[in-house]
């Protein structure tokens, strides 16, 4: 019997080893060279020099499988400091590769080189990559497609073809100069001149018809659209004339399928939809326009288009436009978001160790006397904050490197877990609460702790849907509601069975959203509004997740080529 058990043990061990070896053998390492460089592009009848990757706009699409490794050498041949973020990648044990400047790394200076190295672990679907340095994200971005491992498949019928569809914004000026003007004046920045689909405005804009993006399909086939909102400052409604869409995935997490005529997608978010070409052969507009949730705030009120074109179509007439919601249709936006459900059950943390409450605030800084630098209303400068702390990036070191090297004076660990002052968050807020305190504050999380965060929208300046992105994690969206969060009654309505997993979530205008996650990824992780105008004003904070015990939870040493400030 003892000999039999030994043989069984040897057989099981050999089986596990062979399975592990096969898994490693199926994984690949992808090497890429990214050169950040200027290029002249013509849009809206004007030539504009923009920053690109390898001269491409959008930048290269990265295609990998779950388990693969990416090694991306970045050379900065431009005139601005830059860093790249791999949006939605969890970066397990590789926080140095996450990318936000002055948080996980110092930026790559002009002429500098840095190599990002990371492995995709238990993720598949649509993500994307983009610059994480001021407003360079306006043109430096691209799709990141993660296919299932070899031998695995989608949890839905395989489509006949797939298309990345990247929504963006275009300025007839250098976006960095638009940002600089806003920072000098203290006012809101100029809104974009156009929206784009795969970098093209579409033929509703001047001088744009010839280059409108076209998506060719065959009658009867079902295809997958990988929709990415790379717009700098705008949530968008998207629709296809006469065609329905079936949502199957968002933020690289599969969802229970549901059919819709319109998609609302915030900056930073991705949404995969299946579409069947079941209409009479012809040409149909795909279109996107603004969802602008903040009353009285200027926005780009134009519409970008692409064309869904059936092959062998004889139609030469102008495509029909889809019916899109009006710009302030919050009910449609909320109804769409409420339909998301995860296909995986039972993974949401039920025990809570850290119960955090973060207010999401705009704000104003009063100026002592009239100034060119105070052109917001009533002689003020615009600002933003979380829990009344307006986040300031350090400049002499990154937070991650300072944490690793125990460098004092770069950040403090006193970010408040709750607002320092409680008030009627969605009511008439006293002007005395409109001015935040600047600081570079982080909040410590113990490794393995179960975290709940209530993100409470406030009526400081105005209510608005803020797309909040958490680096290094996905989280479960367990609840949302209007008005002020009620800790006594609202948790009873939480979905703890099949809530959607996201990496970016909108905060209900004049309401709240509840998220949960397990702090299983050591490092320094930025949480911020993905409206870039707001992160520049300070709508951000940082989590410091401490190391656990054991090799898999240890924080690796910084790369030798890590840029220095």
Mean pLDDT, range 176-181, rounded to an integer = 95
Write out pLDDT tens, residues 542-557: 999 987 654 344 567 8
Tell how strand 511-518 and strand 450-457 pair up: antiparallel
DSSP bridge pairs for 444: 544
pLDDT score of 17 more than 50:
no
Cα gap 24→146, rounded to integer Å: 17
| Dihedral of alpha carbons 271, 274, 277, 278, sign | negative
Instruction: Encode pLDDT of 399-455 as tens digits.
Output: 999 999 999 999 999 999 999 999 999 999 998 899 999 999 999 999 999 999 999
Model confidence band, residue 91 (pLDDT cutoffs 50, 70, 90): very high
Residue 378: pLDDT band with limits 50, 70, 90: confident
If we measure between CA atoms, which residue out of 254, 35, 58 comes closest to residue 144? 58
pLDDT, tens digit (0-9, with 9 covering 90-100), for 180-214: 999 999 999 999 999 999 999 999 999 999 999 99
pLDDT more than 70, % of the chain:
94
What is the reported pLDDT for 3? 45
* pLDDT tier for residue 396 given thresholds of 50, 70 and 90: very high
Lowest mean pLDDT across 7-21, 49-63, 534-548: 7-21
Phi, psi for residue 217 in degrees, rounded to 5: -140, 165
pLDDT of 4 above 50? no
Q: What is the DSSP letter of 422?
A: -
Res. 373 pLDDT band, cuts 50 70 90: confident
217/309 Cα distance (integer angstroms): 6
Query: CA-based Rg of the chain, rounded to a whole angstrom?
Result: 24
Among 101-115, 189-203, 370-384, 542-556, the range scoring the smallest mean pLDDT is 542-556
Using DSSP bridges, classify how beta strands 380-386 and 354-366 pair: parallel, antiparallel or unpaired. antiparallel
pLDDT tens digit string along 65-87?
999 999 999 999 999 999 999 99
Residues linked to residue 477 through DSSP beta bridges, in sequence order: 515
Residue 521 neighbours by CB distance under 10 Å: 22
Would you state the structure tokens that stand for residue 267, as one six-digit string?
């900056």
- Give the pLDDT score at 315: 67
Among 53-62, 81-90, 92-101, 315-324, the least confident range? 315-324
pLDDT at residue 127 is higher than 80: yes
- Residue 473 reports pLDDT greater than 80: yes
Summarize the confidence of residues 490-519 as an average pLDDT: 96
What percent of the chain clears pLDDT 90, i.e. is strictly above it?
Answer: 86
- Model pLDDT for residues 320-332, shown as the tens digit of each residue: 999 999 999 999 9
> What average pLDDT score do residues 125-149 get?
98
- Average pLDDT, integer, range 265-281: 97
With contact defined as beta carbons under 8 Å apart, do 62 and 32 qualify? yes
Closest CA to 308 of 210, 199, 204, 219: 219
Q: pLDDT at position 312, please?
A: 80
pLDDT at 10: 42
The span from the CA of 95 to the CA of 562, in Å, is 12
Cβ distance 267 to 161 under 8 Å? no
What value does the mean pLDDT of the chain take? 92
How far apart CA 234 and CA 373 sit, in angstroms, is 25
What is the pLDDT, as a whole number, of residue 9? 46
Do the beta carbons of residue 524 and residue 104 sit within 8 Å? yes
Q: Average pLDDT, stretch 305-334?
A: 90
């Amino acid at each position: 019997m003892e000999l039999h058990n030994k043989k069984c043990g040897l057989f099981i061990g050999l089986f596990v080893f062979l399975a592990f070896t096969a898994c490693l053998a199926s994984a690949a390492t992808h090497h890429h060279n990214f050169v950040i460089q200027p290029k002249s592009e013509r849009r809206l009848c004007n030539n504009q020099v923009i920053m690109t990757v390898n001269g491409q706009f959008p930048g290269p699409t990265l295609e990998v499988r779950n388990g693969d490794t990416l090694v991306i050498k970045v050379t900065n041949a431009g005139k601005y400091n830059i860093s790249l973020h791999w949006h939605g990648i969890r970066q397990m044990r590789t926080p140095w590769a996450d990318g936000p400047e002055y948080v996980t790394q110092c930026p790559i200076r002009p002429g500098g080189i840095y190599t990002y190295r990371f492995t995709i672990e238990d993720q598949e679907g649509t993500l994307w990559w983009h610059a994480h340095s001021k407003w360079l994200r306006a043109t430096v971005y691209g799709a990141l497609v993660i296919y299932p491992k070899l031998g695995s498949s989608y949890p839905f019928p395989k489509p006949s073809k797939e298309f990345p569809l990247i929504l963006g914004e275009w300025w007839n000026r250098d976006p960095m100069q638009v940002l600089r003007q806003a920072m000098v004046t203290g006012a809101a920045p100029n809104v974009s001149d156009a929206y784009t689909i795969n970098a093209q405005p579409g033929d509703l804009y001047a001088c744009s018809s010839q280059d409108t993006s076209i998506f060719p399909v065959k009658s009867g086939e079902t295809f997958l659209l990988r929709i990415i909102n790379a717009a700098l400052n705008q949530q968008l409604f998207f629709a296809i004339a006469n065609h329905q869409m079936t949502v199957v995935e968002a933020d690289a997490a599969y969802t229970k399928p549901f059919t819709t005529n319109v998609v609302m997608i915030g900056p930073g978010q991705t949404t995969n939809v299946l579409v069947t070409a079941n209409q009479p052969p012809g040409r149909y507009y795909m279109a996107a326009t603004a969802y602008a949730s903040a009353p009285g705030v200027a926005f780009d009120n134009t519409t970008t288009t692409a064309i869904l074109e059936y092959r062998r179509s004889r139609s030469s007439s102008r495509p029909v436009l889809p019916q899109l919601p009006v710009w302030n249709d919050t009910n449609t936006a909320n109804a769409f978001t409420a339909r998301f459900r995860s296909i995986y059950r039972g993974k949401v943390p039920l025990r809570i160790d850290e119960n955090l409450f973060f207010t999401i605030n705009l704000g104003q800084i009063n100026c002592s006397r009239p100034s060119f630098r105070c052109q917001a209303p009533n002689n003020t400068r615009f600002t933003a904050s979380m829990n009344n702390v307006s986040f300031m990036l350090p400049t002499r070191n990154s937070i991650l490197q300072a944490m690793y090297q125990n460098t004092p004076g770069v950040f403090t660990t006193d970010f408040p877990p709750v607002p320092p002052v409680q008030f009627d968050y969605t009511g008439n807020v006293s002007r005395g609460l409109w001015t935040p305190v600047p600081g570079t504050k982080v909040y410590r999380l113990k490794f393995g702790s179960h975290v709940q965060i209530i993100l409470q929208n406030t009526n400081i300046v105005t209510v608005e849907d803020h797309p909040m992105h958490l680096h290094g994690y996905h989280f479960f969206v367990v609840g949302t509601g209007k008005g002020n969060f009620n800790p006594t009654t609202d948790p009873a309505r939480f979905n703890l069975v099949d809530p959607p997993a996201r990496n970016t979530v909108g905060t209900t205008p004049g309401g709240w959203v509840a998220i949960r996650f397990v702090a299983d990824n050591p490092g320094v992780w930025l949480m911020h509004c993905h409206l870039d105008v707001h992160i520049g004003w300070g709508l951000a904070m940082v989590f410091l997740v401490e190391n656990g015990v054991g090799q898999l939870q240890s924080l690796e040493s910084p790369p030798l080529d890590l840029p220095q400030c």
